[in-house]
Chain A
Amino acid sequence: MTALFDDYDPGGPRFFDEVFGPTGEVRPHYRELVARLRSFTPQDLDRREVIRDRIFRSQGITFTVYGDASGPDSADEGVERTFPMDLLPRIIPVDEWATVEQGVAQRVTALNRFLDDLYVGEQAAVNDGVVPRWLLHTADGFRREAFGIPVPHAARCLVSGVDLVRDVDGTYRVLEDNLRNPSGISYVLENRAAMTRVLPVAFAQQRVRPVDHYGPSLLRALREVAPPAAGEHPTAVVLTPGQFNSAYFEHAFLARQMGIELVEGRDLVVDEHVVYMRTTRGLQRVDVIYRRIDDDFLDPVVFRPDSALGVPGLLSAARVGNVTIANAVGNGVADDKAVYAFVPDLIRYYLGEDPVLPNVDTYLLWEREQREAVLARLHELVVKPVAASGGYGMLIGPHASDQEIAIFRDRIEADPRGYIAQEVVSLSRHPTLVGEGFEGRHVDLRPFAIAGETVEVIPGGLTRVALRKGSLVVNSSQGGGSKDTWVLDGQPTGA
């Protein structure tokens, strides 16, 4: 009954394997789980996969993929997919988690300080030359319309989903900060709920930190950032673009978790700079909006006039201090991948601390020396457009053809501000059920942080898996799957 792991290749020195150490031994925090799995027959696994699939499908836990012409009714409607959860959870030991938690909280704290200073403060980091002014002005997410709009406690990144990867020696590095509308928390909670039913015994044997307080924590933070005038019991809502949005399931899920209304733009109306929702019994005042709509669609008076998703007058209401918009408008400036390169400096500048979690080594291409060095070794590097997310539009040098490299060379030379280059991080691997047995697949980790009066990081987060063999792209829109992520409470006991 040991067949499940017999053929497993931990990847040798090329990759860090989450479960197996360099000499093939099971890492201590995985021992109980692996021992349990070794007692499984392939039929046991099949049965659990069936249970899992039934849970996910009947709950309608899906996201919509657009622009994938493979389905019969794809073109306009998009294709509904489940985000497949692998049966084998990812486990993070308590000491390792302490570092991640501290590092993520530090990063979010510094970014909140930076953004608040930029939009309603003195712009100290800019004036002191920590980050170039022109760089911010040319960042895609920079919003002049956000100047002067206050957010209590400077909690501009109320929810962040900081993407971490582990390099070949297991060091956690920050890949992206995702300060606008990070999604995926619903999978964290649903994966956990499903996992307790799929592997109840394994789950019960270990002390796994709970995640189901996410909803109450988010609601608490939303109420903490309500305008002072809102009183004791502020009304918060979740604002969604609507059910055709790929993350709609999550929007509905979060509203349900918090017990608050899920509204669309057309449900809200502004009257005398106060936001109301339209109910069957008339208008009801709204104090805080957890919006999952992009900045440009929030308010057609100020942003895109053709937005049908937004609420005319919303920014004016926020500016007056009658409503708080979370996440704040304009956070995207810090999601720019070139601005990302300055985050370690911003941590030092605003907090006077060294960064706990390092960045991935990043090259800024408008600087001639860096650019030339990068162009000389494009086949060894990753190149990303500064404004893109979701893993789109990247060049992965080691996997790219000469032609692709030539295309990116031209693009970089034409628009050096538009791209960054990074050293390839060979992303740690984790055994993942593929067909009949386990194979190593690359994973990342997106812990979620909630900032209100203080910053709280939810234990674990979303582990995304690149299901295609050898792929480094873990995004849900590009064939990624997920794993339940366990943070163990206490040291492993050994098995």
Chain B
Amino acid sequence: MRLDVRYTTRFEYAAPVVESQNELRACPASDHRQQLVHYDVTTTPSSRVSWYVDYWGTRVDAFGVRGPHQLLEVVASATVETSAVDRPETSLPRAAVEDVGFRDRYHELLERSAHVDWGPAVTAAAHRHAAAAGDDVLEVVMAVHEGAADLAYAPGETYVGVSVEEVLAAGGGVCQDFAHLAVAMYRCLGIPARYVSGYFFTRDDATGADVEVHGHGGVEAEVEVETHAWVEVAVPVEEHGHRRERWLALDPTNRQPVGERHVTIGRGRDYDDVAPLRGAFSGPAEHELSVSVRMRRLAREPLGGVPGSGTSPQHQQQAQQQQ
């Protein structure tokens, strides 16, 4: 699926500020499941944007505005080609996650982190889900996924500071809470799990419903969405006689596997590793921050230039030069 994403962050300050420095994590990753076709970042006031790939493999755009300004707008525009991937049908038994080499390799994704700091209730819930499943790791993973998905989607009721124990007790939350809780339950069962941030192409964040195709030529109306979060789990499998891991991506908020409508930005231990924007400025603290994400599905076109944003040869050339 070819998707256009337009991510906009606006800072409106109560009084002019200076010396703003920021890092943005909004760029769709290129990996086995998706390919970035075009990406650019512009800021108002304008700035020199420099980018790098961080420890977790996420592209980070760094920029600063030194002079006085009362409004800072950052627009990240991306075109990305996504696909659904096969999920493993079976996996090794649960004992496989105890393997020393496996645990060493994924140590970081088994430890607690700031937002994934489970207590007795989360541990008990995880073990309850696991006990109800079979001995296969994959079955345990799916059982926990279903368990996490049982939370009620409650937009606007939480913020990133909520602990996973509080989320479980409240029985609901936003996508970040679903993801943190699921990651916590996996980790306390010894199954490596990472937090994924991204975009999800849907007309309804609560249900995850698809967007209907309108009109002709594959051109559709834009939908306004929010940044989304889900989970990836390392599942030990045996293929051709060799032990290896397959990453399984699951979206507990929408109780579905991650598919073509999911656009991955980055992965980490929890939200802090992939927070879309971090920064600092000098001046009075009072400011308003607003974020908007607009997405649009494009027709999949063969190579060789098609109408539409981000896919012209010129755009592709620019994209190459920038990467």
Contacts and interface: CB of A to CB of B under 8 A. Distances in A.
A319 interface: yes
A319 B21 CA distance: 14
A301 interface: yes
A320 B54 contact: no
A185 to B, nearest CB: 32
A22 interface: no
A138 B280 contact: no
A170 interface: no
B21 A147 contact: no
A313 B111 contact: no
Contact-residue size bin, chain B (C-beta under 8 Å from the other chain):
20 to 34
A305 interface: yes
B192 to A, nearest CB: 12
Interface stretch (A52-60, A266-274, A397-405): A266-274
Interface stretch (B44-52, B69-77, B290-298): B44-52
Contacts of B19: 269, 312
Nearest to A126: B104
A295 to B, nearest CB: 14
A133 B104 contact: yes
Interface in B187-238: none
Nearest to B20: A312
B252 interface: no
Interface string B42-64: 00000110101111100000101
Contacts of A272: 47-48, 64
Nearest to B64: A313
Nearest to A271: B66
Contacts of A147: 54-55
Contacts of B111: 137-138
A137 B107 contact: yes
A303 B111 CA distance: 20
B104 A312 contact: no
B8 interface: no
A301 B21 contact: yes
A144 interface: yes
A301 B279 contact: yes
A181 interface: no
A313 B22 CA distance: 7
Contact of B280 (A133, A145, A300, A320): A300
Contacts of B52: 148, 319
Contacts of A133: 104-105, 107
A312 B108 contact: no
B131 to A, nearest CB: 27
Interface in A293-345: 300-302, 305, 312-313, 316, 319-320
Interface in B251-296: 273, 278-281
B117 interface: no
B64 A271 contact: yes
B280 A316 contact: no
B6 to A, nearest CB: 24
A312 B280 contact: yes
Interface string A126-144: 0000001110011000001
Contacts of B103: 134
B12 interface: no
Contacts of A271: 64, 66
Interface in A102-158: 132-134, 137-138, 144-145, 147-148
A273 B48 contact: yes
A133 B105 CA distance: 8
A312 to B, nearest CB: 4
Interface string B94-113: 00000000011101100100
Given A270-B21, A312-B64, A313-B21, A144 B104 contact: no
A312 B107 contact: no
B165 interface: no
Contact of B50 (A148, A301, A320): A320
A145 B23 CA distance: 12
B21 A312 contact: yes
Given A132-B104, A133-B104, A316-B62, A144 B22 contact: no
* Most interface-central of A138, A272, A273, A313 (chain B CB within 10 A): A313
A301 B280 contact: yes
Given A134-B104, A144-B55, A301 B66 contact: no
Interface string B162-174: 0000000000000
Interface of A: 132-134, 137-138, 144-145, 147-148, 269-273, 300-302, 305, 312-313, 316, 319-320
Interface of B: 19-23, 47-48, 50, 52-56, 62, 64, 66, 103-105, 107-108, 111, 273, 278-281
15 contacts: A133-B107, A134-B103, A144-B54, A144-B55, A272-B64, A273-B62, A301-B22, A301-B23, A301-B279, A312-B64, A312-B280, A316-B23, A319-B50, A319-B62, A320-B50
